[in-house]
Every structure is written in C-alpha cells, then in structure tokens.
C-alpha cells in the first residue's frame, strides 16, 4: 500500500502498489496527481481518503478504497 498526501489540499491518500506511476484524482479537491513509486508509511484507514475516478464527479469514490486509475 502506498500512502501519500495530495500536493494541493494535503488530504492523505492511499493506492495499491500496482498503481505506482498512474494518474488518480483526489476525492477532496479533484486535482489529478500521479501515485508516487515506492511505499509510503502506513496510515490509519479512517484517515486516508480513497480515490475518485478521473472524469467522475466528487463522491465517486468506491467503498474499499480502490478505484480504477485515470486513463
């Protein structure tokens, strides 16, 4: 699991290791950003926002903390 902050709103985000290098959208501010390569520090699941799919409106995040990356 990769944990990293949104570079705009600082919301803590998480992604699966396989998403490293892919574009995702912050569910809080809707900024598109790239998942960093390398593992981040683990964080409590309640404090980490799941991703919203690019092109979808706010609130499009899925339960379970995983949404397909931007294409």
Per-residue pLDDT tens digits for 18-57:
999 999 999 999 999 999 986 444 444 444 555 554 444 4
Q: Which pLDDT score, from 0 to 100, does residue 70 have?
A: 60
**Residue 62 pLDDT grade (very low, low, confident, very high; cuts 50, 70, 90):** very low
Is the pLDDT at 61 greater than 50, yes or no? no
Domain residue limits, the chain? 2-47
Q: Which pLDDT score, from 0 to 100, does residue 50 have?
A: 56
Query: Would you state the structure tokens that stand for residue 23, as one six-digit string?
Result: 């574009």
Cβ proximity of 35 and 17 under 8 Å: no
Q: Which CATH number fits domain 2-47: 2.20.28, 2.30.30, 2.30.230, 2.60.11?
A: 2.20.28
Q: Which pLDDT score, from 0 to 100, does residue 49 have?
A: 54
Could you tell me which residues are beta bridge partners of residue 36? Answer: none
């Amino acid at each position: 699991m990769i944990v990293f902050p949104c570079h705009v709103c600082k919301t803590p985000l998480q992604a699966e290791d396989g998403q490293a290098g892919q574009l995702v959208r912050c569910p809080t501010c809707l900024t598109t950003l790239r998942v960093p390569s390398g593992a981040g520090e683990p964080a409590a699941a309640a404090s980490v926002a799941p991703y919203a799919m690019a092109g979808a409106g706010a609130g499009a995040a899925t339960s379970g903390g995983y949404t397909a990356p931007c294409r």
